[in-house]
Amino acid sequence: MKIAAVQMVSTPRVDENLAAARRLVAVAAADGATLVALPEYFCLMGNDDRDKLAHAEAPGDGPIQRALADCARAHRVWLIAGTLPIRTATGERALNASCVFAPDGRHHARYDKIHLFRYDNGREQYDEGRVLQAGREPVAAVLDTAGGPLRVGMSVCYDLRFPELYRVLMEPPCDLLVVPSAFTHTTGRAHWEVLLRARAIENQCYVMAPAQGGRHENGRRTWGHTMIVDPWGEVLACVTEGEGVAMAELDRDHLAAVRAQLPALSHRAVTCRLPAA
């Protein structure tokens, strides 16, 4: 099956971003993709962190979620909708939620980002915890595709640095890990590709990482380099900067062959412990 990762350079205007997402999903679907993923914050790269709260929606309903459902239905694709802000009970913070929509427009699954990014090198400062509430539960979504059930491990951006999350998602093993992201240019240049390839190699599965990629109106610069990586760690497709779509074939036979020739997932010595001091 063909899978597609969308790269965007989102703005502070939700309607404009939704239009761009619809256009790029249409491109991917026209090229044969049956699963399309959008980047983190695809719907909003605001001028202030609290802009997320102004656009936060109730779980399962809101103009952004309705637009995503319509988009999935219109193009008959599984749509992993990057992330959008979902309102918490108090409204004081939002969840950074990655939602999955089925080809009939039905809301299929949701993962709330567990690891919240904080960074300060003296020139750039970010702290998602100011307005976001961390999620609590790993989520693997099983998609009903023409080739059979597809188990997709959900994650978001900063989660990529925490391999223990992916080990949990691999019980039972996933076929695909999805990492919608908005890596900074600084951290992306240093770590993005090596982390994506490591997660693919150690978990012996495909990794799809749709990203923000360019200079945004709010002054931020994101790394881009949207990628699809195969279970052997080979980069199958990459969009370096600016809008675009990375597409590749998810080959179940190749996935099975990698796991058969090097059955590392079954070799894990899960009882290993450091000696007592």
C-alpha span between 120 and 133 (Å, rounded)? 20
Non-local CB neighbours of 241 within 8 Å, separated by 6+ positions: 213, 214, 224, 225
Phi, psi of 220 (to 5 degrees): -80, 145
CA atoms within 13 A on the CB side of 216: 28
CB 223, CB 185: distance < 8 Å: yes
C-alpha span between 196 and 236 (Å, rounded)? 12
Catalytic sites, residue numbers: 40, 113, 157
Q: How far is CA 165 from CA 21, 39, 154, in A?
A: 28, 19, 10
C-alpha span between 269 and 157 (Å, rounded)? 28
